[in-house]
Structure 1
Amino acid sequence: MSWRRSRRWTGAAPGSRGCTEVREIPIWRGGRERASLDVRVLRDYRGAPLAKVAAAPALLVHRTVAELRAAAEEPVDLPALWDQIAHAGRLLEAAGLGGCSPDEHARLVTLSTGAPIADSRRALAELARGMAQVRDALRWQTPNGQLEPLLTHRIEPAPGKSCGWVPVGRVLGFIAPSNHPAVHLTWVLALAMGWAVAVRPGADDPFTPWRVLLALREAGFPVERIALLPGEHDLVPALVEHCDRTVAYGGPALEALLGRDPRVLFNGPGRSKVLVDADAVGSATVAFLVDCILEDGGRKCTCASAVVLRGEAPGLLEAVADRLQRLPLLDPLDPAARVPAWKNPAAARQTPGAVVEVDGLTFVRPALVLDVDPSDPRFGAELPAPWATAARLPAGADPLPLLRGSLAVTLLTKEAALVRRCLREPTIQKLFVGPIPPWYTEPGAPHKGRLADFLFTAKAHREAVIPWT
């Protein structure tokens, strides 16, 4: 299997050597590539053609899921799958796959998304590491941290007592975003737990799931358990309807479409935050807060969207704002770039950020907007850029109302009672105490809960001792 290439591309973005031809991303189903009469042109952040992407019709979903369901019913050796996934992770970062090197892949992702090239390289390494460490990642998912329940479908809470722990279905739909490649570890973990998966790639990054598929195939994984269905938004309700479970990433429009469907694990804006108590401020706090906002170009849903300062720390927030404002706005292919470019200038102008045009590229200028009232809609608003807001509270005030509704929260506090309250708060999904950024994670660690809690359920189960007649 190899990349197909078209020679219609007459130009290339600066620094894009090695990507001199238009790539083609096919549909993948039934263990092989499939063509489509409907093909869209994916353009880079300067408007040049970058890839031709096949578009799967929504009517294809029913047949594809039926094929996946049949594949998932076949007996499978899970430990062998884990070995293949781990091998694929090593190939992902080090090997040429389909004629595309890891470095060229990172350039493709940068050109298609506007993410800085250093971030694209680091994201590929993060995804590869998670796959290579798939057994460790799975230990985060099981009820007792052991792999045995995935093999026996039983858990033993106490000696002589057991219950079933079984999948709630066979086929997972995955509605992927384009903000960060590492999210694709989620559907790989579902494969590792015995599910088959239908992936709809993000509109701007079909390259990462395609590379993962190529790596898995090269490693010997039974790729008939995977479907890759690039396409339009009409694929989303079709996948939700026909798959047993669906993991989806998106904004308010997609959330409104999916509603409260219990078959869907929806991941929307993170609105992640950092609380800083004045008595916890140290010499490294400014650099730490900048890092919380800036990591991966601010594109992760766990990058800080808001900072809450409780008490008096003169100059702290101003210093963070100054460092962000001074960041240079460079072409994303520049190794020194830290700020993403926006492919859609109109979308950038709809944000509360300051839009800047540099060398024909559109940026939202990095910022920490000071003294934003918590009731202001800008407070905690999430942009795919290093842009955040800051609010101040008097010493002793209760910050929890401002921290609710956050995917991730970091507390720089010495108040143990606040830590306990935040840990118990159901609208905070991830909690870190001390100088641990909200975007910190380990492969397989809970994100919006554990994936396995969405894909598996406990079942009462007891067997009488034979003979029982």
Structure 2
Amino acid sequence: MLHLDVLGPTGPYRSRKQKTIHDVTGTPVASLSLAPRVYVTRALHAMRQTETLPTDERVTAIARAGTAFATATVAGLSAEEYQRTVSAVSGMPIATVRSATAAIAHAADRADHSAQQARPLGAVTDWHDPLTRTGRAVWIRRGEVFAVHAAGNHPAVHQAWLDALALGYRVAVRPSRREPFTPYRLVTALRDAGFRDDQVVLLPTDHDAADEIVRQADRSLVYGGDDVMRKYADHPTVLPQGPGRSKILLTADTDWTLALDTIIDSISSGGGVGCVNATAVLVEGDPAPVAEAIAARLAQLPSLPPHDERAILPVFSTEAARLLETHLQARAEGTTSVLGGNGNVDELGDGSAVLRPSVHQVDSPFSDQIGVELGFPCVWIAPWSRDAGIAPLRGTLVLTAITTDEQMLDDLVAEPTISNVHIGHHPTSWMEPGLPHDGYLGEFLMRSKTVLR
């Protein structure tokens, strides 16, 4: 059993209240300390009193931590041991975890560059800059303490808050109980690299104390479902991150058969668990051949345990897999099943099960189903017409538009509720540090003020 302590402002803290973390077969793997509410309050107060590392020191420390995170022994685990633990507990294929490890290290190395991409062109980073002698905008933090209620669906979500650390925020991370190993390792690596204990902390908590973290922080990033989006929709200091509902649009002026690799990659890369994985494909013309071709390709993906090097699909406990299957069947009522209609659960015989891909065809681009996002490759194929316009494409994190229609592309890029547009054969899952995900985090964390001296 591993022991994951609270990493507080005065060092590790092992609380009396513990949460046992199991792998997908039900085997206990770790004991996670849960910080009580009073501890959270005191921790964030201590963070508010401390100073921020100078820019050069923190940028260097973040990059050094990223290298250690990906290659060294951190918190008693080698990189390989960490990756196998995450794979066993989360059910993500080991290859996906390795890819996420490399992505976090890359993001750490580029954290300062990434954070600075959000800075307005006319602003400087320090009031001592000579340009302020004639008046200049200076980019400053909106606060000092940044909190993260992290998601557990993919390790790579922990790239995001490195920007806040690079910008000088002190950061408090509340890990997901589903997968606390990545933030535990990353926070430990950052401390080993030069950040003080009161500058970056890990605060596992129950739900009551979790709300206290948001109340005490100046700015917060909160991951969750539609309930989280509704809860914080009007909260000015909270940036909620919900389902991505990423989509692909295929118009009649293109050959969709040439896009099949892009479509499959969009749906299934990383196990299909991310907000950037495509959950709907809208087809101008007859969607049936597209649905059948997608189903034929996805049906070939093997059912394997997560530690297998050839694994692609996510694995859950059998109980959790059955619950997801039941939920999908209820939501798919009235649609045409092309793949997975007889069930998606493929038991591995050890208490775990693979959730196999699902392809359903719906009758309209306005069907409620195309907004249903699940944590495995599940895609809805819908007809689309010019009369429908861009309305069915709204509320999309990433849209891959395979079209030659320049006016359509103008409209899609201009649409405020579509966060990212990939034009042509680029999967929805493509990302790069320095480019906005759901806007730049720096837009939420920073502001400009005029300084004249």
TM-score, normalised via structure 1 length = 0.88
Instruction: Give unmatched runs, 5+ long, in structure 1.
Output: 1-21, 464-469
Q: Where does 1:355-370 land on structure 2 (aligned, <5 Å)?
A: 355-360=344-349, 361-370=352-361
Q: Which residue number in structure 1 is paired with residue 247 of structure 2?
A: 273
* Letter of the 1:135 counterpart: D
Say if 1:44 and 1:50, in contact at 8 Å, map to a contact too: yes
In the alignment, residue 306 of structure 1 is paired with which amino acid?
A: A
After TM superposition, list the pairs within 5 Å mapping 1:305-454 onto structure 2: 305-311=279-285, 315-343=289-317, 344-352=320-328, 354-360=343-349, 361-394=352-385, 396-454=386-444
Aligned to 1:118: 95
Deviations 1:388-410 (A, max 9, x none): 1011124x444411110111111
Letter in structure 2 aligned against 1:40 = K
Partner amino acid for 2:291? L
- 2:19 maps to 1:28: no
Q: State the Cα distance separating 1:127 from its structure 2 match.
A: 0.8
CA gap 1:134/1:324 in 2 versus in 1, 3 angstroms: same
Which residue matches 2:81? 104
Asked if 1:211 corresponds to 2:185, the answer is yes
Counterpart in the other structure of 1:61: 40
Q: Is the 8 A contact 1:155 1:164 kept in 2?
A: no
Partners of 2:71 and 2:65 lie apart in 1 by 10
2:282 corresponds to 1:291: no
Listed one character per residue, the Cα deviations across residues 9-44 of structure 1 (whole Å, up to 9, x for unaligned) are xxxxxxxxxxxxx11100011141011010110111
Aligned partners of 1:404 and 1:428 also within 8 Å: yes
**Which residue number in structure 2 is paired with residue 139 of structure 1?**
116
Alignment match, 1:251:
225
Q: Distance in 2 between matches of 1:154 and 1:426?
A: 35
2:237 corresponds to which of 263, 270, 281: 263
Q: Distance in 1 between matches of 2:300 and 2:128?
A: 55
Q: Could you tell which deviates more after superposition, 327-336 or 47-56?
A: 327-336
Distance 2:130 2:426 in 1: 33
Q: Is the 8 A contact 2:52 2:170 kept in 1?
A: no
1:299 shift after superposition = 0.8
Q: Deviations over 1:95-136 (max 9, x none)?
A: 111221111111111111111111111111111111122233
- Contact persistence 2:370–2:380 (CA under 8 A): yes
8 Å CA contact retained: 1:153, 1:164:
no
**Alpha-carbon distance in structure 2 between the residues aligned to 1:431 and 1:259:** 24
Structure 2 CA distance, aligned partners of 1:153 and 1:109? 45
8 Å contact kept, 1:173–1:239: yes
Partners of 2:70 and 2:105 in 1: how far apart?
6
The one-letter code matched in structure 1 to 2:61 is Q
User: In the alignment, what sits opposite 2:56?
Assistant: 79
CA 1:315–1:201 in structure 2 vs 1: closer, same or farther (change >3 Å)? Answer: same
Q: Is the Cα contact below 8 Å between 1:155 and 1:163 reproduced in 2?
A: no
**1:222-262 CA deviation, whole Å, 9 max, x = no partner?**
34201101122223321111111110001123334434211
* Cα 1:155–1:37 shift into 2, 3 Å: farther
8 Å contact 2:346–2:356 — kept in the other structure?
no
Q: Residue 153 of structure 1 contacts residue 165 of structure 1 at CA under 8 Å; is this kept in 2?
A: no
Aligned CA-pair RMSD: 2.2
**Percent identity of paired positions between Structure 1 and Structure 2:** 32
Specify whether residues 84 and 311 from structure 1 end up closer, same or farther in structure 2 by C-alpha distance, changes over 3 A only. same
CA contact (8 A) 1:372 1:389 kept: no
Q: Which residue identity is paired with 1:38?
A: K
What is residue 137 of structure 2 aligned with on the other side? Answer: 163
Aligned residues: 436
2:162: which partner in 1?
188
The amino acid that maps onto 2:42 is R
CA distance in 1, matches of 2:168, 2:354: 42
Amino acid at match of 1:392: P
Q: Is the 8 A contact 1:275 1:308 kept in 2?
A: yes
Q: Secondary structure at the match of 1:409?
A: strand
**1:295–1:303: 8 Å Cα contact kept in structure 2?**
yes
User: 1-side partners of 2:289 and 2:185: how far apart?
Assistant: 46
How far apart are the structure 1 equivalents of 2:370 and 2:184?
Answer: 37
Structure 1 letter corresponding to 2:111:
V
Quote how far apart the aligned CAs of 1:437 are.
1.4
